[in-house]
Structure 1
């Protein structure tokens, strides 16, 4: 990595935290690409270390594998929604420290299982999030001794709407497909201030595209469960709106106003996941491995490089007696571990994440459940002029189910 690039990165991260008036609304790493991958999780998966590829959906919708939709409770319709809150502590070189809190919804899902023949689900959820502020970046005006100050704010992200469909074949084999549409915008505002003028640049990038995925689940001897997921690579097409204005000599002038200008496409990679789970009486153990082939997209970022991503997840849950009439015997206790290598490399350093989680599944009546989880994660490093994040995440998810498709016994 050359010297000028290192200086730019250092200035960028120092600018993020050097101002007491910093209004950072998310991770500084959301500056790269289309933002950071959404950390929110649904249902019991959030307390199981983000595992779920081999898990069924009898405790609520499982978005980790489309094949699981056929395992929803028979002839019940399930409405699943939730939200999360994150408290992020950031540290860096020169005793830099910052803290911020963000809120978001995790998903809104509706699904049903028809006579154990097939399962269908429709979901809206965030895919990536962007939120950063670079305050007080100082630079020299080329050819003079005068300086200018830049302030940059970025917000936005992508959302995903997806349709899942699953069927059972050969009794123990579940097959599912999903069709997703990704869409959203990333807004960046830069203000450049000199002693005699003020320049503001507003850019809004729009991205959209479709993606297909496949899921398999297989049960062996009613004890061992295996799962496989594949998300096919796809292209998100982009356009840009730009508005530039300048205030100088007590006059405001418009320098540029363009719409629907084409920009570089963004390439999403091939993703594959493998999962295994087993039960010992009322103890569930589960493990997942996911790999994303980012290097095959052959795209680059001005600051870092895209690298293949590996995610390892472990989870376990225990309930005393799920069929008991006593409430606390039906409560599901959960914990999990997760390691994410990340797909971004800056200054030859991977931006990876370690996290641990605990959770509860609290029954509501006989069919519904409230899922609560807490996770603590560490992302990034203070080496190589980077930033380390400690992320505290609280997830609350409600899964409401009711009987449908029942024939009347009496007129």
Structure 2
């Protein structure tokens, strides 16, 4: 058991020290970046539902689910995103491959624990804005994001009700660079803003399930995250640059501008959902998430034309298994998942609401013994709008995860 812990801890810290750009969306400029984590591959393949939980899969969005685990469960996920970015005049494409989560769930009777690492938000964009009338060009680039290391616990009060709590330590940085050049001039200007963020957030969760008859099961769940503050250490650098023909900017002189540090407030949010199904056969559920209005006015630079309103997210999805216990047909034991989601992000740019939707589907492929499986998930979606000179994004995401099960706290009968 100790050896397993050491391997897991080593992997966690190796991943933490590896920086990634997990998105290519221009909308990741705003707030603390684009929220790129919406659950495990199993959850995301069902439209992002967080109300469904069982004894052999991790549910990283509702801590109450840890109380239902029967086996020690490891979860590791990654994804590849292909995005087409379109304005009313032109378009471009981008591809990103990223690590999504690493987590472990450990049952100890009615009490279950979980810990892991999740890259939670991401900043990653590269925009060139030419003004032919003035013979000028501005290039905007950004990178960074917010990660969280979490420790969670869930307790099964009785066969129907479980409760849980999540403690997250959030850390990361947001970096934005703006280069301005004018045709015919040797020099240009560069501004770099950086915010280093850190702080704790918390979540409480509830899961309720009950058999209505010998075949039909009812589920209800919810979780709540209180408002929290992250400390923000801000810095700004201004420079006069020489812009080379190879696209490199060489600083001729630089100066640091003092920028006040502060706190960045993350709004409270809550999720409620319900569903019905037959265990190990099928399930269908719906879910709503609401979040209070955000206020990022204390970022280290002004965000002109951007306002933040209350956000709303609507999800529906489920799964189907032809024959869970089939001994003759592998594909009868495969879990087939599908769902859809609609997100009102709360971000408004120049009077236009930035919304997002996705259609998801996937499969869970049985692998090896101890109920382990490989999960494949896919999503097609859109984000934004071409109106008011903004950007519409078409994206396709392919996801893969390993869900591995083992027993840690069972004594061996034979040595």
Give the TM-score band, short-chain normalised.
0.7 to 0.9
Per-residue CA distance 1:174-203 (angstroms, 9 max, x = gap): 000000111111122233334142333333
Find the partner of 1:156 among 144, 147, 164.
144
The residue aligned with 2:46 is 48
Provide the rounded CA distance (Å) in 2 between the counterparts of 1:314 and 1:252: 51
What is the total number of aligned residue pairs between the two structures? 376
1:108 paired with 2:102, answer yes
The residue aligned with 1:353 is 356
Find the partner of 1:98 among 76, 92, 97.
92
Alpha-carbon distance, 1:172 to partner: 1.4
Asked if the contact 2:39/2:61 (under 8 Å) is kept, the reply is no
Provide the rounded CA distance (Å) in 1 between the counterparts of 2:145 and 2:357: 23
The residue aligned with 1:197 is 187
Find the partner of 1:212 among 194, 198, 202.
202
Provide the rounded CA distance (Å) in 1 between the counterparts of 2:350 and 2:286: 32
The residue aligned with 1:166 is 154
Per-residue CA distance 1:215-268 (angstroms, 9 max, x = gap): 0011133611110100111011111233333357xx965441368x53343211
Asked if the contact 1:180/1:210 (under 8 Å) is kept, the reply is yes
Provide the rounded CA distance (Å) in 2 between the counterparts of 1:106 and 1:26: 15
Asked if the contact 1:315/1:337 (under 8 Å) is kept, the reply is yes
> TM-score normalized by structure 1?
0.85
5 Å-filtered alignment, 1:172-251, equals 172-194=160-182, 195-221=185-211, 223-247=217-241
The 1:113/1:135 distance shift into structure 2, 3 A limit, reads: same
Alpha-carbon distance, 1:394 to partner: 0.6
Asked if the contact 1:33/1:301 (under 8 Å) is kept, the reply is no
5 Å-filtered alignment, 1:11-410, equals 26-39=24-37, 41-52=39-50, 54-73=51-70, 76-94=71-89, 96-115=90-109, 117-138=110-131, 148-194=136-182, 195-221=185-211, 223-247=217-241, 253-257=252-256, 261-280=259-278, 282-294=281-293, 301-326=303-328, 327-366=330-369, 367-410=371-414
- Gaps of at least 5 residues in structure 1 are 1-22, 141-145
Provide the rounded CA distance (Å) in 1 between the counterparts of 2:303 and 2:177: 19
Provide the rounded CA distance (Å) in 2 between the counterparts of 1:296 and 1:156: 20
Aligned Cα root-mean-square deviation (Å): 2.5
Alpha-carbon distance, 1:151 to partner: 2.1
Asked if the contact 1:40/1:84 (under 8 Å) is kept, the reply is no
- Gaps of at least 5 residues in structure 2 are 1-20, 243-249
Q: Secondary structure of the residue that 2:42 maps to in structure 1?
A: helix
Alpha-carbon distance, 1:136 to partner: 4.3
Per-residue CA distance 1:35-64 (angstroms, 9 max, x = gap): 111155413112100002x21143421112
The 1:25/1:364 distance shift into structure 2, 3 A limit, reads: closer
Provide the rounded CA distance (Å) in 2 between the counterparts of 1:344 and 1:44: 28
Asked if the contact 2:176/2:194 (under 8 Å) is kept, the reply is yes
The 1:330/1:263 distance shift into structure 2, 3 A limit, reads: same
